Amino acid sequence: MRTHGSWRRYAVLSLAIGLSLAGNSHGAWAAARPALPAGTQDQIVGPSAAQAAERLREAMEWERVQEQIAEDEKKRHQTVEQQGKDETAETSAAVKFVLKKVLHDSSAVLPEEEIQKITADYLDKEIEIKDLQEMAEKITTLYREKGYVTCRAVIPPQRIHDGVVRVQLVEGRTGTIRMEGNKNTKEGYIRKRLSLTPGAVDNIETLNRELQWFHGTNDVQLRLVMKPGTAEGTTDYDILVFEPPRQNLISYSDNNGYKSSGRWRNGLFYTNRSLTGIRDTLRVNYMRSRGSDMWGLNYSIPVSPRGVRLDVEYTGSQSDIKKGELQALGVEGKASSYGMTVRVPLKVEPDRRYEAGLQLAHQSSKTDLGHGNKVSWLDDSLMRYIPYISFTHYGHTSVVYHKHSLLRVSGDDSVYHEDYSGTLYRLASFYQKRYTHGQYIQGRLDIQQTSSNQLASADRFFIGGANTVRGYEESFIGGEKGLVMSMEYHVPCGKSHRYDPFAFLDFGTVSGETAPDDKSLISIGLGTSYHYRRTNSSLTLGIPFKRELNNQHVDAVRLNLTVTTTF
């Protein structure tokens, strides 16, 4: 099974940008504020820069998940490869004798009692040379069962006297280890994650498990090839390293922005996958529209050979209302966020992956009103503690992902001296099933639940837009609780499935103290993506079922265009 990881990464960029450049101004508390013109308060308390920063982190995490799923699919079932043939001794003529005693070399890996258990079946019996070969083969099989494929038992040429036979245990030790292809990865980084030790009797099953774990926790692909050693009694290993491009720069454009701050948005996304040679990733991005600017920095570094990673990040944004009713109010907002996440892989197998983590994040946002003499509408800060656990299951033609997060959030507004705390549960899930001729169906379900009656806008659940309910404005409505689900059917066509047309059905609903009277959105539509060399584009046509909601009129059709180019 193969997921469409490359295009989905650009869809995720659209999600990140759409939520981080929200044109509405920065609000946090659904509490009392100075009187404003009718119909404008909800716009200010709508999608804030703080909320945008939180959604940006979620979008970047979703991008990481999609990349990991695509990489897992490429690397499944890879094991150590062996070159050369096993040489077995030829069976001698049928000479019969009574076996009285079996001598053998000492073993570095097999317990003595397990060897004796095999040889005991042949003692004090009349046997032939072929029986000795059978006994040696059973010892060799025992080696194989324990993962020592470079070891075997043989019957060497000898003179048999008084029924005493010597069995030679050939335990191939690791000889020369060669590595090639690691242009951007330090050799020591890879060697620390594989238990290959010159002079040791290495276990192939252990190596296969380590190889599988390495593939599940790194973006590098390895092939281990065993060869007869240059020195007698040894096995040499070639480690072939296949790295993705170290750096890329993506230019991004779409028309998914806000009327109030500019429909068209443009930006650059830079990624370095191995900044210092230890697969530490640096991501830098900048986006702007006519009335908004957003920038971000993320650095992820492995902190243990078992794949534990530490991520640190910073995002910032500012926006001015350039069009609409709020323009006259002189609304200006700024927001920033910084945080860290520890990610711990719990299980990495060909058909499943489990991960747990803890995220700590601090956000602050400020909104001012007026021209010249500014009036502070908002000056708040939030602190989040987010433990989570995620599961990915791979079938032959399907993949299922679900992540469960528990958010504990607290904050305060220094302007109105309000304190806030609450606990939220979030589910993020994804399903894809592939059929013949490359066709596939995929769905996504996101849920937020909380017992809190009022949340900061950064923690409210918003629906509407190119990545939730298409056909509506980005973050069209929101509330403390919510659900959004989407189903798509794709029919790739053209050379190398360059075109990917699809039909979709989206549904979302919100509830809670700040939810509007009309709480649900639903839409259908068609779309297609196109990939040519380094350029990806996507065009969707969303048709909303509800066009009059909360005293607002929705257009009959909404077209969303996204174009990205990778350098």
| 142 secondary structure, DSSP code | H
Residue 427 has pLDDT above 50, yes or no: yes
Asked if residue 180 has pLDDT above 90, the reply is yes
Task: Report the pLDDT averaged over residues 158-177.
Answer: 90
Distance separating alpha carbons of residues 454 and 509, to the nearest angstrom = 17
Place of tokens 């944004």: 317
Secondary structure element (H or E) that encloses residue 297, with its range: strand 292-302
212-217 mean pLDDT:
92
Instruction: Answer whether residue 19 shows pLDDT above 50.
Output: no
Contacts of 443 (CB under 8 A, 6+ apart): 430, 431, 432, 485, 486, 487, 488
Residue 130 — φ and ψ, nearest 5°? Answer: -65, -30
- Name every residue whose Cβ is closer than 8 Å to that of residue 391 and which is 6 or more positions away in sequence: 352, 353, 354, 400, 401, 402, 403
Sketch the domain layout of the chain as residue ranges: 5-77+244-566, 97-154
Does 242 have pLDDT greater than 70? yes
Residues 444-449 have a mean pLDDT of: 97
The per-residue b/e assignment along 258-287, b for 16 or more CB within 10 angstroms, e otherwise, is: bebbbeebbbebebbbbbeeebbbbbebeb
Which class in CATH covers the domain with range 97-154? alpha beta
Amino acid identity, position 307: G
User: In this structure, what token pair is assigned to residue 378?
Assistant: 């908002």
Q: Is the per-residue pLDDT at 38 higher than 80?
A: no
Global pTM exceeds 0.85: no
Total residue count of the chain as it appears in this document:
567
Give the pLDDT band (50/70/90) at residue 77. low
User: In this structure, what is the dihedral angle of CA atoms 186, 187, 188, 190, given to the nearest 10 degrees?
Assistant: 100
> Residue 341, class by beta-carbon neighbours within 10 Å (0-12 exposed, 13-18 middle, 19+ buried)?
buried
CA 264, CA 163: separation in Å to the nearest integer?
91
Q: What's the distance, Cα to Cα, between the start and end of the chain in Å?
A: 28
**Candidate from 234-243, 385-394, 419-428 with smallest mean pLDDT:** 419-428
State mean pLDDT over 495-523. Answer: 93
Which CATH fold would you assign to the domain 5-77+244-566? Porin (2.40.160)
Strand partners, 524: 505, 543
- Would you place residue 391 in the very low, low, confident or very high pLDDT band (cuts 50, 70, 90)? very high
The residues pairing with 500 across neighbouring beta strands, listed in sequence order, are 529
